[in-house]
Amino acid sequence: MIDKKSQRLAWAITGSGHYLRESIDMLNTLENVDIFLSSAGAEIIQQYGFQQALNAAGHRVYQDKTASSVPVGMFYKGKYHGLVIAPATSNTIAKMAYGFSDSLVTNLYAQAGKTRVPSIVFACDTAPELESEAPRDNIVKVYPRKIDLENITKLKSFEMTSVVEDMESLSSCIQQHLQSLTHAD
């Protein structure tokens, strides 16, 4: 029997510099969150100097250390009411859109789907041309490819999945999800 009141939100961070700062700020405003880092995510957090910000709220952090993604077993124990993937790289989006589950984050998404836990994915390479934060406060121009944009469109058709394309939509989608839990009581 799952104790719904003790359920938590799983938040996965991938190796994207784009909107990394804003995603960390947002997850630090929430309670009862566990963080999961892709291997690239862990590296990028170091490169951008965001480790302290990541630790600020005292959330538990799981790293991608095992081939079978051991921590995803917690979805089968009903530990999580939802999964947020923010920011999501075009690499992780591509893998998820084609059903791969060969890393911690792609496995979280696959196992969330297989246990009917809703996922909110912040795909940040969403326009043909955008500006992105690089390490040391530099801004670079990025031109996502047709395939990157197509993969986002494909992922939007997946069950139990909300794909959002800006921080405002990410915030309101998370709030709606959290409110739906209270109303379900």
Ligand X SMILES: Cc1cc2nc3c(=O)[nH]c(=O)nc-3n(C[C@H](O)[C@H](O)[C@H](O)COP(=O)(O)O)c2cc1C
Binding site for ligand X (CB under 6 A): 14-18, 38, 40-41, 44, 47, 89-92, 103, 125, 132, 134-135
* Separation CA 83–CA 43 (nearest Å): 22
Least distance (Å) from ligand X to the CB of residue 124? 6
Nearest by Cα to 30 from 84, 71, 70, 66: 84
Nearest by Cα to 30 from 86, 75, 74, 111: 86
Residue nearest to ligand X according to CB distances in the complex: 15
Least distance (Å) from ligand X to the CB of residue 178? 25
Least distance (Å) from ligand X to the CB of residue 4? 31
* Closest CB to ligand X among residues 81, 106: 106
Least distance (Å) from ligand X to the CB of residue 19? 8
Inter-residue contact 54 to 122 (CB < 8 Å): no
* Closest CB to ligand X among residues 41, 113: 41
* Closest CB to ligand X among residues 34, 133: 133
* Separation CA 33–CA 17 (nearest Å): 21
Encoding tokens for residue 16? Answer: 């994207």
* Closest CB to ligand X among residues 19, 81: 19
* Separation CA 23–CA 38 (nearest Å): 15
